[in-house]
Chains A and B, each alone.
Chain A
Amino acid sequence: MKYFRDEFDSFLDLNKDENDTLIKLRKKSFENFMETGLPTSKWEDWQFTNFSSLNAGDFRLSSANDVIKPPGIVPGQIPHSHLLLIINGHYQPGLSKLPKNVTISSGADHYFSHPEFYSHKNMESKWSKGLNPFYSLNTSMMNSGICVQVEENTVLSNPIQIIYLTTAIQNEIMNHPRFVFELGNNSKATFVEHYIGSTSIGYFNNCVTLVELGQNSFMDHIRIQEETSGSHHVANSFYGLSQGSTLNVNNTSIGSSLYRHNINLKFCDANSSANYNALSLVDNEQHHDQRIIVEHSSDSCQSNQLFKYILSDESSGVFNGKVIVEEHTRQTDANQSNKNLVLSPSALMNANPQLEIYAEDVKCSHGSTTGQIDPEALFYLKSRGLSHKKSMELIMNGFISDISELVNDKHISEYLNKIASQQLQKIMK
């Protein structure tokens, strides 16, 4: 834990010219973090995930020494997308070509101009259920990230892709990126938030993403986590939906030895809908832990969640999903489904789907299943002359096929299919 204090002190030294409000916020957040420390197995919502490797680690905050020249071909780039590239926590402005009616500000600029937005008071009033030590840690040292704002009445035909690349580092680094995606009223856009690692040295990304959808807006948010197998990836994502808005999320995670993601989704106003599909494909000793809270705080909103895991070797997964339907809300329609395929006797899945319903006019469903490859299905395919490997591949691809249904962009679909089938090949071995 000591390195957090050292890194925080030198971070403050280096950023003396930040405004007082922000410095105060950082200090307060850091105190909060130090008070609680990292979550332990005694914390109910964190009990299946062990953060001792972060405690024992010695990650240094990414510095100017980690600025490198962008590679000629950026890995993971999706054709026709507007690329925003961040390497080792350092934004590469030269590469970005953005369409009209979209403004970006580097994280720092946005903190300076909107300190109140980042204030604890603001966050606590809206996201009381979603704040945690990793959020505080991120606020104390948020050092990278971008705020992207799409103006009202804007329809973007091509996705905005943010690639957060960690590569060519000399020793173990950490970053605390803060992203803000704001979609104006009546606008439509696709955001790709893409984490990629290419290094044999360990690192720790502790991300926070705030997504705000304006009235009658429509957003596809694709989150891709392709960190290296030696990395740690912790994330807090917050989605606030205004009246009449629609959100589709595809969250595909294949990397990291330790991945914990807290997802908070809130219907702030009536007549909105959100579909959240998530896929984790893991092997070796990877651990993927995802927790989602969907708050139905307004009338006539609809939410669908589908979380799927395929686990091989000694990997483990956690799904913790909660739907809260608040008192006095009407006509809520909420569905939650979690399905897991366990390929090895040593792999482990913990699933905990929950509903908290305080209103009467609701339609809710939830369920979770964990099983192995159906031997009947396997024999059926083999009996038609398909090899064991091909049969397994078909069954697993079939299992995950509905996850990508929410992706409307052809190029993104192709990319997701490509990395999923590569990962399936790897975990089948």
Chain B
Amino acid sequence: MLEIKNLHAGVKGKAILNGLNLKVNPGELHAIMGRNGSGKSTLANIITGRDDYDIISGKIEFNGIDLNEMAPEDRALEGIFMSFQYPVVIPGVNNTYFLRAALNAQLKHFGKKEINAADFMRLIREKLKLVNMDEKYLSRAVNDGFSGGEKKRNEILQMLTLEPKLSILDETDSGLDIDALKIVAKGVNDFRDSTRSFIAITHYQRLLEYMEPDFIHILIDGKIVKSGDISLAQEVEKKGYSWLES
């Protein structure tokens, strides 16, 4: 699904990722852990194609397609999704309208018939239930006046609606209380199947307790220094990161 080979990348000319390798197969959930500044969010931004983030050398392929030079909207249409660490407030843009436009952009991209307003409402009502969100959020502007937890649930709602192949969860657990965390984790778990892949970026092991990752990777100074199973996350939780530094 996703293959990153010897990736050197950074923001505005400053190198942050220094030779990163990662392979994510269909159905897998990879967790990336690391301190602040280790390059976790840079990795998410590089995969999704945010402006100012550039590949210096190395390669990212998504289902065989080279992602370098590909616009963020085209990556999204190919099936890459990011749940934002800080979801953006977009004043005056109706949540339902936005989400239907996004879904229709995707349907159109695959040459399918666009979904009409009534069918979309039926679909979105089902998805709302999965993340325990009230229908009133649909009539609000995107993330406007949402609490931290509501914003994160709104991200998962978008994921469930757009059904991406690869979902990057950028610190989706931060700012969530335990109940909201469980709802979000359940949303992700129910969505998992043998064709979909996930990269969960997190500081803490907390989220992983609810999500059952297949692999844990530790990122230090822009490189994966150690990979393992869930026991690695537990070890990091106990001992911190310093023992992994060379």
Q: Quick one: CB contact mask for A373-398 with B, threshold 8 Å, 1 for yes? A: 01111011111111110110011011
A400 beta carbon closer than 8 Å to chain B: yes
**Contact present for A400 and B51 (CB under 8 Å):** no
Chain A: minimal CB distance from B82 (Å)? 6
- On whether A383 and B72 interact (CB within 8 A), knowing A394-B90, A397-B92, A399-B91, the answer reads yes
Chain B: minimal CB distance from A239 (Å)? 27
Can you list 18 A-B pairs with a CB-CB distance of less than 8 A?
A374-B88, A376-B88, A377-B88, A377-B89, A381-B90, A383-B49, A383-B50, A383-B72, A384-B98, A385-B76, A385-B102, A386-B73, A386-B101, A391-B73, A394-B90, A394-B97, A398-B91, A402-B92
B87 cross-chain contacts in A, Cβ below 8 A: 380
A401 beta carbon closer than 8 Å to chain B: yes
Q: Give 10 closest A-B pairs by Cβ, nearest first.
A: A398-B92, A401-B92, A385-B76, A398-B93, A384-B102, A380-B88, A382-B73, A382-B72, A385-B105, A385-B77
Count class of interface residues, chain A: 20 to 34
**Contact present for A382 and B92 (CB under 8 Å):** no
B75 cross-chain contacts in A, Cβ below 8 A: 383
B109 beta carbon closer than 8 Å to chain A: yes
Tell me the complex Cα distance, A383–B91, Å.
17
Q: Quick one: CB contact mask for B148-168 with A, threshold 8 Å, 1 for yes? A: 000000000010001000000
**Contact present for A385 and B90 (CB under 8 Å):** no
**Contact present for A394 and B101 (CB under 8 Å):** yes
**Contact present for A382 and B76 (CB under 8 Å):** yes
Tell me the complex Cα distance, A380–B90, Å.
9
B225 beta carbon closer than 8 Å to chain A: no
B71 beta carbon closer than 8 Å to chain A: yes
Tell me the complex Cα distance, A125–B48, Å.
65
Q: Chain A contact residues: over half helix, strand or loop, or mixed? A: helix
B102 cross-chain contacts in A, Cβ below 8 A: 381, 384-386
- Interface-central residue, A377, A381, A387, A401, by most chain B CB under 10 Å: A381
Q: Quick one: CB contact mask for A357-374 with B, threshold 8 Å, 1 for yes? A: 000000000000000001
Of the candidates A380, A387, A399, the one whose C-beta lies within 8 Å of that of B105 is A387
**Contact present for B93 and A384 (CB under 8 Å):** no
**Contact present for A381 and B106 (CB under 8 Å):** no
**Contact present for B92 and A385 (CB under 8 Å):** no
B77 cross-chain contacts in A, Cβ below 8 A: 385
Chain A: minimal CB distance from B241 (Å)? 29
B51 cross-chain contacts in A, Cβ below 8 A: 375, 379
**Contact present for A381 and B98 (CB under 8 Å):** yes
**Contact present for A384 and B162 (CB under 8 Å):** yes
Closest chain B residue to A379, Cβ basis: B50
B141 beta carbon closer than 8 Å to chain A: yes
Of the candidates B49, B88, B89, B105, the one whose C-beta lies within 8 Å of that of A386 is B105
**Contact present for B162 and A398 (CB under 8 Å):** no
B137 beta carbon closer than 8 Å to chain A: no
Residues in B lying within 8 Å of A, measured CB to CB: 48-51, 71-73, 75-77, 81-82, 84, 87-93, 97-99, 101-102, 105-106, 109, 141, 158, 162
**Contact present for B73 and A387 (CB under 8 Å):** yes
Tell me the complex Cα distance, A399–B98, Å.
14
Tell me the complex Cα distance, A335–B38, Å.
47
A388 cross-chain contacts in B, Cβ below 8 A: 71, 73
Q: Which A residues, 14 to 39, have Cβ-Cβ distances below 8 Å to chain B?
A: none
**Contact present for B90 and A398 (CB under 8 Å):** yes
**Contact present for A384 and B158 (CB under 8 Å):** yes
B89 cross-chain contacts in A, Cβ below 8 A: 377
Tell me the complex Cα distance, A394–B101, Å.
10
A383 cross-chain contacts in B, Cβ below 8 A: 48-50, 72-73, 75-76, 81-82, 84
Q: Quick one: CB contact mask for A104-122 with B, threshold 8 Å, 1 for yes? A: 0000000000000000000
**Contact present for A380 and B101 (CB under 8 Å):** no
Tell me the complex Cα distance, A374–B76, Å.
20
Of the candidates B90, B99, B105, B158, the one whose C-beta lies within 8 Å of that of A395 is B90
**Contact present for B93 and A397 (CB under 8 Å):** yes
Q: Give 15 new A-B contacts, CB below 8 A, not counting A381-B98, A384-B98.
A: A376-B88, A377-B88, A383-B81, A383-B84, A384-B76, A384-B81, A384-B102, A384-B105, A385-B106, A385-B109, A386-B105, A395-B90, A397-B93, A398-B141, A400-B92
- Interface-central residue, A374, A385, A395, A399, by most chain B CB under 10 Å: A385
- Interface-central residue, B48, B49, B81, B98, by most chain A CB under 10 Å: B98
**Contact present for A385 and B73 (CB under 8 Å):** yes
A387 cross-chain contacts in B, Cβ below 8 A: 73, 105
B73 cross-chain contacts in A, Cβ below 8 A: 382-383, 385-388, 391
**Contact present for A380 and B84 (CB under 8 Å):** yes
A390 cross-chain contacts in B, Cβ below 8 A: 101, 105
**Contact present for A394 and B109 (CB under 8 Å):** no
Tell me the complex Cα distance, A394–B97, Å.
9
Closest chain A residue to B52, Cβ basis: A375
Closest chain B residue to A398, Cβ basis: B92
Chain B: minimal CB distance from A424 (Å)? 13
A400 cross-chain contacts in B, Cβ below 8 A: 92
Tell me the complex Cα distance, A385–B161, Å.
13
Tell me the complex Cα distance, A395–B72, Å.
17
Tell me the complex Cα distance, A390–B77, Å.
14
Closest chain B residue to A374, Cβ basis: B88
Chain B: minimal CB distance from A194 (Å)? 25
- On whether A382 and B71 interact (CB within 8 A), knowing A394-B93, A397-B93, the answer reads yes
**Contact present for B88 and A385 (CB under 8 Å):** no
